Amino acid sequence: MPQKTHNVSIIGAGMAGTLLAILLARRGYSVDLFERHPDPHSGERDIELASNLALGERARHALRVTGLLERVERVATPMRGRMIHDRSGRLTLQPYGYREYETLYSVRRESLQLCLLDEAERQPKIRTHFDHELQEIDWDAQVAVFRTRHNGGGHTHRFEVLIGADGPGSAVRRSMDSVSDLGSDISMLDAGYKFLTIAADEQHEPLMDPHALHVWPRGGYMMLAFPGPDGSFTATLFLPLKGDHRMIWGFEELDSWTRQSAFMDANFPDVTPLIRNLEEEFREHPVGRMGTVRLDRWHLGGKGLLIGDAAHAIVPFHGQGVNSALEDCTTLDTILDEHPPTWEAAFAALQDRRKTGTDAVANMALDAYHTMRESVRHRDFLLRKALERELEIRHPGRFVARYSLVMFHRIPYTEAYERGKVQGEILQELLNGKEELTEVDLQHAARLVNERLSEVPVSA
């Protein structure tokens, strides 16, 4: 154990905080896990928990090593590709890949959270404190102060080591930054999102293909829908916060039911009738914000550390936030395994191994934002995808689409990013001036692939 510390305090019983608590408790640490929300078992429900997440190989690996994968898979729905809906309602399936393992798993956030919390509850060394919202931290005295709904409204906790897993708006990050400059760079997207529910039929059968992520790309905005286990879908409408008053509407302009229903009917005519409580959901569901957090430093010596979204939030369009947050936890666990270092050395090693990668995936998530809104419906995007697939089939293990490297492999994000750039150049060179796949010189392609790309390392 680093430096004889026996107690670790974690702020945020979300995905990263709960998984890390389990891993640390299994190593023999006593863990205090604080969460501002009530226990999800209590039935008091946050709308975010009703939404769905796509899990790829990084999250699945973290769940596999923790022994939770089977449990999560029982409540997850496999998705084999994107189903693109055009304005006329025509559907096109774009498979994620041609290999069996190139499948994403849609899981309700609440189900994943409950699997993790149930496992945490089985660990005698974890004490979970719900309804505890962190207010401030005195890093010198090593004291954290919480607002609670019980005990007269406040609670003071002395900590040895404190880990902030409290999401994109992290209070731990703000507190650390106020005592030592973390070099924060936070940029918010000028778009927001709203969750809507696409109902199943009366027999609880899905009204759309349940094995696909559904996408309605519309240029400056879009809608996505993830399948749920009960035949329904959780849709997320992504729109600019403010439109341009001409071609593109924003949430600000959709300020009446007349405008909201006209907008939905005009843009998503095939699915709007299936959103039974559209008016109520537009009114009740808040507009969520998204942004990118980049920090130069994730830790305060050996006293404090940030993980998950608190250290490196990204926009959600590559479906990597949870994947990456859980990968932080397994990486720290491996670091603690290798040689018992001091906490400061362990935290520095985590930042060292992860930071360039999380910066790279932040860029890829912003790229994906543009791709999903725009390019998935364009002819040159489809031609590029077709060639990419052809090269993947002809050069397995050497030419692997960047999307697949990020979602279905565990090679570092930086490597996926770099390989993606080289592959992008090869595609560009081969497609220059071409309109059909049959015009591409595949022998020349083989030479370029063999010259410029090595074998993709197999993840351990």
Residues in contact with ligand FAD by CB under 6 A are: 11-17, 34-37, 53-54, 133-134, 165-167, 171, 193, 236, 288, 290, 308-310, 316, 319-323, 325
* Minimum separation from the CB atom of position 391 to ligand FAD (A): 27
Q: Do residues 108 and 272 make contact, with C-beta atoms less than 8 angstroms apart?
A: no
* Minimum separation from the CB atom of position 338 to ligand FAD (A): 24
CA 43 to chain centre: 25
Q: Do residues 430 and 448 make contact, with C-beta atoms less than 8 angstroms apart?
A: yes
Edge to edge, what strands does the sheet with 299-300 contain? 126-129, 30-34, 7-11, 161-164, 304-306, 299-300
Under 8 Å CB-to-CB from 216, ≥6 apart: which residues? 84, 85, 222, 223, 224, 267, 268, 271
Unique residue bearing structure tokens 């919202």: 133
DSSP-assigned states of every residue in 234-249: EEEEEEESS--SSS--
Unique residue bearing structure tokens 């973290």: 62
Tell me how far apart the terminal alpha carbons of the chain are, to the nearest angstrom: 25
What is the CB neighbour count within 10 angstroms for residue 57?
22
Report the alpha-carbon distance of residue 169 to residue 108 in Å, rounded.
22
Phi-psi region of 212 (alpha: psi -120 to 50; beta: other; left: phi over 0): beta
Under 8 Å CB-to-CB from 356, ≥6 apart: which residues? 414
Unique residue bearing structure tokens 């199943």: 200
Q: Do residues 282 and 194 make contact, with C-beta atoms less than 8 angstroms apart?
A: yes
What is the CB neighbour count within 10 angstroms for residue 114?
18
Environment class of 326 (CB within 10 Å of its CB; exposed 0-12, middle 13-18, buried 19+): buried
Phi and psi, residue 80, nearest 5°: -95, -10
Closest CB to ligand FAD among 224 and 448?
Answer: 224
Q: Do residues 81 and 212 make contact, with C-beta atoms less than 8 angstroms apart?
A: yes
Under 8 Å CB-to-CB from 260, ≥6 apart: which residues? 254, 278, 279, 282
Unique residue bearing structure tokens 């430096």: 3
Closest CB to ligand FAD among 63 and 453?
Answer: 63
Unique residue bearing structure tokens 């519309």: 218
Query: Residue 2, CB half-sphere, CA atoms under 13 Å: how many?
Result: 20
Closest CB to ligand FAD among 171 and 254?
Answer: 171
- Which tokens sit at 19? 């998984």
What is the CB neighbour count within 10 angstroms for residue 458?
9
